[in-house]
Structures are given as C-alpha cells and as structure tokens.
A and B are shown apart, each in its own frame.
Chain A
Amino acid sequence: MIRLPLVLFFSAVLFSAGVYGVLARRNAVLVLMSIELMLNAVNVNLIAFSQALHDLTGQAFALFVIAVAAAEVGIGLAIVILIYRNRETINIDEVNLLKW
C-alpha cells in the first residue's frame, strides 16, 4: 500500500498544474482540459482516502465527479463552439463580454 502523503503530494502537484493551465492559457479548449486535470486530481484524492479509510464512499464520489465532468465538458465545448461561431476566436482574453 502506497503511503497516503505521497499520493496527496502527487494530486496536489496535478491540481496545481491544472490551476496554472486555467490561469495562464488563453485557448478556451485548453482551459477546459486544465479543468479536467484538476478534477482528476480531486478524484485521486478521493480514491486515496477511500483506500486509507477502508470506505468505498470516496470511490462513489469519484464516480459522481466523473459524471459531472462529462456533463461539464459537453456544455463547455458547446459554449466554445458557440463563441467561435459568433466571434471567430476562442482566445478567452478577447471574449470579455461579461468582464467588468
């Protein structure tokens, strides 16, 4: 059995990479992919705790996270296609309609 802190460090690094992608990339599709990275890090955490606490609840929650991620990707990519169709760009710096 892998020690829990190791897995937590791993998922923290993965999550930080996702945060960097969301903040630094300007391609909307890549931002969505970085969000997937973050959700994956959360799943790793849930499953690691599920193993450490001998309880399957974490795995059930990871399953819900995967389902929600699938829904989120569907909606997100539909929005990206819509933005591209309206503005011919997917650079999120240029899509500033809701920016204050």
Chain B
Amino acid sequence: MAADWIVFWVCAPISIGSAIAMLLQRNAVHAALFLIVNLFTVAVLYLVLGAPFLFAVQIIVYAGAIMVLFLFVIMLLGVDREERLVERLRGQRTAAILLGLGVVGEVVFAIRAGVGFSTRAPAGFGAANGGGNPQALGRLLFRAYFLPFEVTSILLMVAAVAAMVLARRRERPVASAERRAQEPIEPSEPSEPSEPREEEPVG
C-alpha cells in the first residue's frame, strides 16, 4: 500500500513540473520533449491507479505515435520560430489572478464535496478485473460497449482519410485532371506552395 503512494508522490510532481515547463518553453521541440516526460509519468500513474493496459496504451499511442507526429510537424514547420509570451490585453493579469483563485476555490470545494467516494473499501476491484485487466477490459469493450468501439474505429478511419485530404497539395482536382488528360507529359511546378495564396480571401 505504501509503494504506490511513493510512486504517486514521485511521479505527480514530475508530471506537473514537466507540464508547466512545457508551457513556459519557447522552443517547440523542447516543449514536445517535456510533454513526452509528462505523458510517461502520467502513464506510470495509470499503472498505480490499477490500469496496466492503459499504461501500455498510453506509452504506445501517446508517447509513441502522437508525439512522433508532433515532432514531425514541428520539424517540418521550422523549429527556430519563437513566439512572444507577453500578453497584450489590458488588465489581463489581475483578472487572470482573480479568476484563477476562483477556480482554485471551486476545485477545492468540488473535491471536498466528493470526498465520500474515497472512503469505500478497496475490495472488489480484483473481482471486476477478473482474469487480468486487459481481458476484463476487452470483455467490457466487446460486450457492453461494442457499438461505441466500432464507431471509434470508423472515426479513426475518417480521420486518417481526412488528414490525407487536408494535407494534400492544393490544386483544383477537376481542372488538374483535365489538364493531365490533355497533356500527359507535364513539367513539375516548383513554385506550387505559394500558389493557393492568391485564391484566399483577405481576412
């Protein structure tokens, strides 16, 4: 019982610290690396909270796939572009402090109100986890939540197709198809990325 307490108190400060370091970091690559640290420590917290399957999923999906995607895009768009963190709104600082204190009070109140949940005996989670956590989770997913599971798979497929469509080179599909049909040998256009700018309305 004491071990998970120690793990929590080691991981939670690292997690919060890396999250804050990520937010204060000007360099996007460093921010991404801090986010990876944060995701790893949160994954360890999943383990402590009795979700070993989600621990593995978190590391594979988040720290593996999603962060690689982030780093890829950051490298693609150029790493040396820094941003100013100074706010330009007037009176923003005092309003932020006041509203932030309000949120802190609210959270403390809400958690104090929900404290009764934690007084239950920890027995019974083993029964829910019968046969191992991944097996129990699989049973739950494929019986009670089968339809949402399938909808999620459709969502992922739609997202993959949409990402490809969005990030494709922007040329008019019909016109270019006609052009290709008319003249099969077409020289490549090196100045293409700046081309779609012209058809964009001025904001």
Contacts and interface: CB of A to CB of B under 8 A. Distances in A.
Interface of A: 1-10, 12-14, 16-18, 20-21, 24-27, 29-30, 32-34, 36-37, 40, 43-44, 47-57, 59-60, 62-64, 66-75, 77-82, 84-87, 90-91, 95-97, 99
Contact of A9 (B49, B111, B128, B158): B111
Interface size class for chain B?
35 or more
B190 interface: no
A53 B118 CA distance: 9
B49 A2 contact: yes
B128 A54 contact: yes
Contacts, number: 220
Nearest to A85: B193
Most B CB contacts (10 A, CB to CB) among A4, A10, A59, A79 go to A59
Contact of A37 (B38, B51, B129): B38
B10 interface: no
A94 to B, nearest CB: 9
